[in-house]
């Protein structure tokens, strides 16, 4: 599947969100536009296609560092019938804007955004996510911006052992790319994945190598 379900309510939520940013938060407008680039969509559709080959339905999803989480939430709820998606992003503007982009899903109580840092020993997963039951899918499409995922997994998801979908890159030219990897094997090793269902590399339209692993 090389597309997302761009329904009328999605169009309405996204257009209203873009207008809001343009008028009220113009300093963020280019950053928001960057979240809609061809390469951003390529990586999310790649995730959609490979994950669908392994499992096509999930109940309770945790997204780590999901940014505005518009495209990904759409994919998870519309394509994988996710009943609840919690996006953990420490950036407060991302939380505010993600609620605007995902207004319909938020109103339906299927989407929540938290500013908790799950790498911290003092900030466990959200209570409302625990209320949904065991987390059965965990996604991080920006591992290059964070520490090793094995620390977060051991601290918060030892019992549930969710299926993990992780993406990273070997492009270290950006200051906030603090944890690049040389290949998907290193990405899997950083998360201590032992049951690997998928491992691959994709050259994106912007020239960047993207690595992805799926496993437990």
Domain ranges of the chain: 8-215
Distance in angstroms between the alpha carbons of the first and the last residue of the chain: 24
Query: Within a 10 A sphere around the Cβ of 175, how many other Cβ atoms?
Result: 6
Between CA 199 and CA 54 the distance in angstroms is: 12
Question: Nearest Cα to 9, choosing from 139, 132, 115, 110?
Answer: 110
Contact 166, 140 (CB under 8 A): yes
For the chain, the maximum distance between any two Cα atoms, rounded to a whole number of angstroms, is 48
Between CA 161 and CA 199 the distance in angstroms is: 18
In tens digits, the chain (216 residues) has pLDDT values of: 677 899 999 999 999 999 999 999 999 999 999 999 999 999 999 999 999 999 999 999 999 999 999 999 999 999 999 999 999 999 999 999 999 999 999 999 999 999 999 988 778 899 899 999 999 999 999 999 999 999 999 989 888 899 999 999 988 887 888 899 999 999 999 999 999 999 999 999 999 999 999 999
Domain spanning 8-215: CATH 3.40.640.10: no
Q: Using DSSP bridges, classify how beta strands 209-215 and 196-203 pair: parallel, antiparallel or unpaired.
A: antiparallel
State the DSSP code for 28: G
> What global pTM score does this model have?
0.95
- Strand ranges across the sheet with 111-114: 111-114, 84-88, 60-64, 137-140, 163-168, 209-215, 196-203
Contact 34, 112 (CB under 8 A): no
């Amino acid at each position: 599947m090389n597309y997302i379900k761009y329904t009328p309510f999605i169009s309405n939520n996204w257009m209203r969100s873009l207008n809001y940013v343009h008028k009220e938060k113009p300093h963020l407008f280019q950053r928001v536009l960057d979240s809609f680039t061809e390469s951003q969509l390529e990586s999310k559709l790649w995730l959609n296609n490979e994950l669908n080959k392994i499992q096509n339905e999930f109940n309770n999803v945790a997204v780590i560092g999901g940014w505005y989480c518009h495209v990904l939430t759409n994919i998870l709820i519309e394509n994988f019938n996710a009943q609840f998606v919690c996006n953990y992003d420490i950036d407060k503007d991302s939380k505010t804007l993600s609620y605007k982009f995902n207004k319909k899903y938020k109103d339906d109580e299927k989407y929540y955004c938290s500013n908790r840092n799950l790498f911290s020993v003092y900030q466990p997963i959200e209570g409302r996510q625990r209320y949904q039951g065991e987390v059965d899918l965990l996604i991080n499409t920006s591992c290059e911006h964070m520490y090793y995922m094995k620390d977060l997994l051991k601290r918060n998801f030892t019992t549930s052992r969710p299926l993990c979908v992780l993406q990273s890159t070997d492009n270290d030219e950006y200051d906030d790319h603090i944890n690049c990897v040389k290949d998907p094997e290193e990405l899997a090793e950083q998360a201590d994945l032992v049951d690997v269902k998928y491992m691959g590399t994709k050259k994106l339209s912007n020239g960047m190598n993207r690595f992805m692993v799926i496993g437990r």
